[in-house]
Structure 1
C-alpha cells in the first residue's frame, strides 16, 4: 500500500481507477477510526461499570459486617435474657 501511495504522489495526472482506490482507502480509514473510537468508548464504559461493581461489593461487605455484629449482639442479649428468665423460674419453683 505504501508503495502505491508513493507512486501516486509522483504522478501529475491520477487515473480514475487510482482516485477510486484512494477514496476507498479513505473511507476504510474513516470506518476503522469510528470502530476504534467505539471500542474505546465501550472499554471506558466497561471500566466504569467494573469500578462501580467493586465499590458496591466493598459497600455490601461493610453492610454484611455491620449486620453480623448487630446480630451477634442480639443473640448475646437473647442468651442473657433466657438465662435471667431461667434463673427467675428456678427461683419461683424453689
Structure 2
C-alpha cells in the first residue's frame, strides 16, 4: 500500500481507477476508526460493569458476614432460652 501511495504522489494526473482506490481506502479507514471507537466504548462499559460488580461483591460479602453474626447471636439466645425452659420443666416435674 505504501508503494502505491508513493507512486500516486509522483503522478501529475491520477487515473480514475486510482482515485477509486483512494476513495475506497479512505472509506475503509473511516470504518476502521468507527470500529475502534466502538470497541473502546464497549471496553469502557465492560470495565465500569466489572468495577461495579466488584463493589457489589464486597458489599454482599460484608452483608453476609453481618447476617451470619446476627444469626449466630439468635441461635445462641435460642439455645439459652431452650436451656432455661428445660431447667424450668425439670424443676416443675420434681
TM-score by structure 1 length?
0.96
Q: Structure 1: any 5+ residue segments left out of the alignment?
A: none
Deviation at 1:89, TM superposition (A): 1.2
State the Cα RMSD in Å: 0.7
Deviation at 1:90, TM superposition (A): 1.2
Are residue 32 (structure 1) and residue 68 (structure 2) matched?
no
Partner of 2:60: 60
SS of the aligned residue for 1:13 comes to coil
Runs of 4 or more above 2 Å deviation: none
CA distance in 2, matches of 1:86, 1:15: 104
Count residues with an aligned counterpart: 94
CA distance in 2, matches of 1:82, 1:25: 83
CA distance in 1, matches of 2:24, 2:89: 95
What are the Cα deviations for residues 16-73 of structure 1, in whole angstroms up to 9, with x where unaligned?
1111100000000000000011111111111111111111111111111100000000
